[in-house]
A and B are shown apart, each in its own frame.
Chain A
């Protein structure tokens, strides 16, 4: 990426204004993927000095500012005690420590990376995002949001709920991206299933969730059926990492294993 100017914003408002000045202007998180892009950016905007670098634990939630690094989230103890630690676990599978020390929550969420090992577990728990202009919304809505308006992510808010969680990232080597990743949670009897890297962006298996949440007991047969519904409703496809058929097989197995894990 070619960068013509670099702007260290002092306030969010300053950053926001700069962002609107030129269509090529953008906010830089950790900057981990800059080298992969051949775009030219007029002004790169740095949020380091804006003060968005806290993890706050409240009675009901954990609020993580956009400029917090993934490594800081991964090491957060409050979070690791929640949801069977699946958010922390998801992060720990992303590349190496040195990369996780750089990349930020903001960059990871706003990027909406389809291979993300952060978004899948976040979606499986109750996560909201707070944007400077668009305000507060669920992560699910944010992921679906298609707008040309450039906004700034301020923080994510994760509700502290009693959740049993399961997360699995199928990858080929320790540094690889997910071939498929699966998050399954049980929030006081309510089950959620998220599948990412299909290879498209993480999404709920809505029909499968409807089905399983309407069953009296979650038997092996129900689990099998739920997994089948999930793989039929979600869209899978082929890329250089794996074929569609293999992804479907993997998703089925790991949804099944996830459901077993969180309902045992």
Chain B
């Protein structure tokens, strides 16, 4: 099936199988920021934005993205750079496998919640698992990044 998606502002046409997932379609098209993690929407490393909302691409049929706007971190390079500065200073970088998807989800959170509290941040990002950092350094970095925007 042909599907038409706008990926990071660029119009794309993909020929997909009805049971193909967006993760595979986009990785096949060299969007390396989207990672394969758990295969069943439990870890968050495959997160992309669909019409600005975070969704898990390992679970989203590619056909369901037809006609929608998809954003990956390749489309938010400046945001990623900004957050990564704080990650660097807070020692929140480890393996990096969850970082792009986390940056995207933080972006979606900023769009949705004005001045999120500690609890808001934890609740919003609970689906973004990290096995390396213990979360605290990430949390500090995200808070500082949010403060920058104020």
Direct A–B contact present (CB less than 8 angstroms): yes
A242 within 8 A of B: no
Q: Does B54 lie within 8 Å of A34, measured CB to CB?
A: no
- Pick from B54, B59, B126: contact of A174, CB below 8 A: B126
CA gap between A31 and B55 in the complex, in Å: 12
Q: Which residue of A lies closest to B50 (CB)?
A: A101
A96 within 8 A of B: yes
B133 within 8 A of A: no
Nearest Cβ on chain B to A244's Cβ, whole angstroms: 26
Contact with B along A26-53 (1 / 0, CB 8 A): 0010111011100000001010100000
Nearest Cβ on chain A to B74's Cβ, whole angstroms: 18
Question: Given that A34-B59, A35-B59 are known contacts, is A101 also in contact with B44, CB under 8 Å in the complex?
Answer: no
State the total of A-B contacts with C-beta under 8 angstroms.
82
- Chain B interface, number of residues (Cβ within 8 angstroms): 33
What residues of chain B lie closer than 8 Å to A2, measured between beta carbons?
A: 19
Select the stretch in B6-14, B35-43, B86-94, B142-150 that faces chain A: B35-43
A97 within 8 A of B: yes
Q: Does A46 lie within 8 Å of B19, measured CB to CB?
A: no
Q: Does A95 lie within 8 Å of B42, measured CB to CB?
A: yes
Question: Given that A31-B64, A96-B44 are known contacts, is A102 also in contact with B126, CB under 8 Å in the complex?
Answer: no
Q: Which residue of B lies closest to A2 (CB)?
A: B19
Q: Does A31 lie within 8 Å of B56, measured CB to CB?
A: no
Considering only residues 12-61 of chain B, those with a C-beta below 8 Å from chain A are 17-19, 21, 39-42, 44, 47, 50, 53-56, 58-61
Q: Which residue of A lies closest to B3 (CB)?
A: A6
Q: Does A98 lie within 8 Å of B55, measured CB to CB?
A: yes
B123 within 8 A of A: yes
- Pick from A8, A48, A71, A102: contact of B56, CB below 8 A: A102
- Pick from B40, B41, B61: contact of A28, CB below 8 A: B61
What residues of chain B lie closer than 8 Å to A1, measured between beta carbons?
A: 19
Question: Given that A6-B18, A32-B41, A35-B59 are known contacts, is A98 also in contact with B127, CB under 8 Å in the complex?
Answer: yes
Q: Does A34 lie within 8 Å of B44, measured CB to CB?
A: no
Q: Does A32 lie within 8 Å of B53, measured CB to CB?
A: no
Q: Which residue of A lies closest to B19 (CB)?
A: A3
What residues of chain B lie closer than 8 Å to A36, measured between beta carbons?
A: 40
CA gap between A4 and B63 in the complex, in Å: 13
What residues of chain B lie closer than 8 Å to A240, measured between beta carbons?
A: none
What residues of chain A lie closer than 8 Å to B126, measured between beta carbons?
A: 96-97, 174-175
What residues of chain A lie closer than 8 Å to B97, measured between beta carbons?
A: none
A92 within 8 A of B: yes
What residues of chain B lie closer than 8 Å to A97, measured between beta carbons?
A: 54, 105, 108-109, 124, 126-127
A99 within 8 A of B: yes
Residue picked from B50, B54, B59, B124, most chain A C-beta under 10 Å: B59
CA gap between A95 and B55 in the complex, in Å: 12
Question: Given that A28-B61, A31-B60 are known contacts, is A3 also in contact with B18, CB under 8 Å in the complex?
Answer: yes
Contact with A along B115-144 (1 / 0, CB 8 A): 000000011111111000000000000000
A58 within 8 A of B: no
What residues of chain A lie closer than 8 Å to B1, measured between beta carbons?
A: 6
Q: Which residue of A lies closest to B128 (CB)?
A: A96
Q: Which residue of B lies closest to A99 (CB)?
A: B41
| Interface residues in chain A, defined as those with a beta carbon under 8 Å from any beta carbon in chain B | 1-6, 8, 28, 30-32, 34-36, 44, 46, 48, 71, 92, 95-99, 101-102, 174-175
Could you list some 7 contacts between A and B, CB below 8 A? A5-B18, A6-B61, A28-B64, A48-B64, A98-B105, A175-B42, A175-B129
